[in-house]
C-alpha cells in the first residue's frame, strides 16, 4: 500500500473486500478467508505466499510477516500424540 500510495478505501473499492477487514489485517489480525487473500495478491500482482510470508527467496526473520503471529503458539506447549491402528477395508476388484 505504501509503495503504491493507496488507501484502505481505494483497495476496498477495487477488491470488494470490506474496509474493516483490511483494517483488521493491517492491525495484525490473521486473514480467515483465502479467497480474499487471493484477491489482494492478484490486485498487487504478487502471490499469496509472498503477500503472507514476504520474499521467500530472502532468509526469513521472526518479524517478517504480520500475518503469521500464531507461529510460536503452534509450537509452544506440551503435546500428546496417540497412535492407533487403522482399520483398512479390503476392496475386491
Mean pLDDT of the chain: 77
Q: Which one-letter DSSP state was computed for residue 63?
A: T
pLDDT of amino acid 18: 92
Q: Which domains does the chain have, with CATH numbers?
A: 1-56 (1.10.260.40)
What pTM does this model have? 0.55
Q: Mind listing the pLDDT tens digit for each residue in 35-72?
A: 898 999 899 888 888 887 777 666 555 555 554 555 55
List strand residue ranges (DSSP E) for 8-81, in order. none
pLDDT of amino acid 4: 78
Burial of residue 7 (CB within 10 Å: 0-12, 13-18, 19+) is: exposed
Report, in this order, helix, strand and coil percent for the chain, each rounded to 5: 40, 0, 60
Amino acid at each position: 500500500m505504501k509503495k503504491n500510495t493507496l488507501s484502505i478505501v481505494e483497495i476496498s473499492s477495487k477488491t470488494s473486500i470490506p474496509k474493516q477487514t483490511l483494517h483488521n489485517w493491517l492491525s495484525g489480525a490473521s486473514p480467515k478467508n483465502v479467497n480474499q487473500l487471493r484477491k489482494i495478491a492478484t490486485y498487487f500482482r504478487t502471490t499469496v505466499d509472498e503477500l503472507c510470508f514476504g520474499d521467500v527467496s530472502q532468509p526469513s526473520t521472526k518479524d517478517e510477516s504480520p500475518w503469521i503471529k500464531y507461529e510460536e503458539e503452534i509450537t509452544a506447549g506440551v503435546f500428546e500424540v496417540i497412535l492407533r491402528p487403522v482399520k483398512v477395508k479390503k476392496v475386491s476388484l
